[in-house]
Structure 1
Amino acid sequence: MSTDVATTERASTALTIADDQTRFTSQQVTVLRHLGVDGADEDDLDVFFHVAKRTKLDPFARQIYMIGRNTYDQRQDRWVTKQTIQTGIDGYRLIGRRAADAARARISVSAPEWAHEDGSWRPVWMKAWGSPIAARITITRDGEPFTGVALFEEYAQTKRNGDLTSMWAQRPGGQIAKCAEALAWRLAFPQDLAGVYVEEELQHADRQEPEHPATGAGVAGLRDIVQPPAPSPADEEPVDAEVVEEPAAPARDWAGEAEALDDVTALRSLYAEAAAAGATREEKAAIARRGVAVSAGGQS
């Protein structure tokens, strides 16, 4: 039984993507606009067509869709709209299994696991435990494992005040597990899933920075040890103070230092030091990932 979505074997309509078609027709573009593809130019639509045809997902059945996300551009120092191509986790599974069938590859998908703050990986997640540190899922392709590990702090969608949105607050385990599974599928079938993301992976992308950023953690106890700096008097100015320019300290390789550590306590201290030094989100996430890996390995 064929799993193809838009083929000429089915009842053909004006929306059916023909085998020899190279871009969306004007009528198809009109329908896409009606379905919510706003602000996309011709180049965006050509990319969308290419991905839809390559993945064999039907954009008119909402199996795959393009959405403009409000993203902060640091280079331009302003918010911009960026078109992204998304599907649901079921679409990812369909693409992956089709790719496996085409390659005659044997695949298996593990049950999800969630990282608790105590360093353990748990086969179920209870809401009473709060939010998991991370989730992981392994897809095995012809005996080779591909494990996707998604850190909650990197993907969770928050409101402007830093609180989780309703979906991430109600289903923290399920939301982050979808992100981990998507990562695993993309590791196992990078060519087939290039340029396509599940919605949960990108929900954080168009959030605004919280007015009072919450201290985050990737390993047990990091939330408690990373404290905001003490406030400085805003109206006080130094009197007769001599300004002495200190030589700039060399940039630290936070990720490299984290990889050299095999102790969770030391990683917590490194995370706190990095946060106090103004390390980037990516640098702190690298320390957190190392902490999760060390905890999962049973090291102290």
Structure 2
Amino acid sequence: MPNEIAIFNPEQQTIIEQMGYSHIPQNHIRALFQRSDVMGLNPNNPSQIALIERNSKNGKTYTLQVGIAGLRRAARRIVKADGGTYSESEWLYRGLSKDGRDTGWMDLWSVESMGFPTAAKVTVTRDGQEFPHTVMWEEAVQTFGQGGNPTPMWASKPTFMLGKNAAAGAYRKAFPDELDDVYVDSERFDSEEPMQMQATRQDRGADAVRAALSQKKQEEPAPRDWMAEVKATTTGAQLNALMNEAQSAGLTEQDWDALCIFANDHNETLGGK
């Protein structure tokens, strides 16, 4: 959009070019900058907020995507400006016990002994009003391949991913004016196609994410390039093993979220391998 980009200020134009957004319609880019300002996030750091391009049967769609930390930061910023209050409840889970009975809502869930939870619920309270949100596992889990297996992130951190979806929905309910069109990477998106990791990105977007993750102090040892290792995997088994290793490597929540986003996209290229 060579002519449209001129409507943005020089700093914004630089971000658009660096992040590879030049081909995206200006209304979506404007929404990115507006939401970044409201939420206090850096639009030049895709681990905080990013504009994600996806393919659907109706053509390309664009979604604003953040981490759960970004939603919390936005909520703190908004209530501080309004002189209000907000709180986030424990992440609660529900499912079936070993003997097939309903467990009721629990704040701790052992996947090893109880399997995947059936549902998760989170409540965000804003100025005394509660906004609960519940998500079901079968409706939320992201899968890949012909077997419909959970993606590496959902397989390795199922309660975190499901709970994050519930929390994101609760934040959108509590802050509809500011967060209504903002999603986290673990959520499905409105599409006529089943969620078999339809997301696609330009390599320049992945390069930008990699650059954000590699910003470390000069005196620190060079970190592993997890994204390059993800890109080098050729089977789902290799990718699962690598993501399990990355999970135990002590990545920050933002770095883990960004790596999950990239691994989701790589899963699509692997198909059913």
Q: TM-score scaled to structure 1, two decimals? A: 0.55
Cα contact 2:32–2:43 (8 A) shared by 1: no
Distance 2:81 2:186 in 1: 27
Which residue of 62, 65, 68 maps to 1:89? Answer: 68
Cα contact 2:188–2:195 (8 A) shared by 1: no
**Which secondary structure does the structure 2 equivalent of 1:58 belong to?**
coil
Question: Is residue 53 of structure 2 the alignment partner of residue 68 of structure 1?
Answer: yes
Distance 1:67 1:195 in 2: 12
Distance 1:28 1:49 in 2: 8
How far off its partner does 1:204 sit? 8.7
Question: Is residue 99 of structure 2 the alignment partner of residue 113 of structure 1?
Answer: no
How far off its partner does 1:53 sit? 2.7
How far off its partner does 1:41 sit? 2.2
Which residue of 136, 142, 148 maps to 2:121? Answer: 136
1:206–1:132: structure 2 CA closer, same or farther, 3 Å change rule? farther
1:206–1:83: structure 2 CA closer, same or farther, 3 Å change rule? farther
Question: Is residue 183 of structure 2 the alignment partner of residue 197 of structure 1?
Answer: yes
**Partner of 1:47 in structure 2?**
31
1:115–1:72: structure 2 CA closer, same or farther, 3 Å change rule? farther
Amino acid at match of 1:186: R
**Partner of 1:103 in structure 2?**
82
Distance 1:164 1:104 in 2: 42
Higher-helix-fraction structure: 2
Question: Is residue 169 of structure 2 the alignment partner of residue 183 of structure 1?
Answer: yes
Question: Is residue 120 of structure 2 the alignment partner of residue 145 of structure 1?
Answer: no
Q: Mean alpha-carbon deviation: is it higher for 63-72 or for 36-45?
A: 36-45
Deviations 1:5-54 (A, max 9, x none): xxxxxxxxxxxxxxxxx953366345434334364122322232232233
Q: TM-score scaled to structure 2, two decimals? A: 0.60
Gaps of 5+ in 1: 1-21, 74-79, 211-300
Distance 1:207 1:158 in 2: 13
**Partner of 1:125 in structure 2?**
109
Gaps of 5+ in 2: 1-5, 197-273
Q: Specify the structure having the higher radius of gyration (Cα).
A: 1
What is the identity percentage for the equivalent residue pairs of Structure 1 and Structure 2? Answer: 32
Cα contact 1:157–1:203 (8 A) shared by 2: no
Cα contact 2:91–2:120 (8 A) shared by 1: yes
Cα contact 2:35–2:178 (8 A) shared by 1: no
Distance 2:67 2:120 in 1: 18
**Partner of 1:164 in structure 2?**
150
Distance 1:34 1:209 in 2: 29
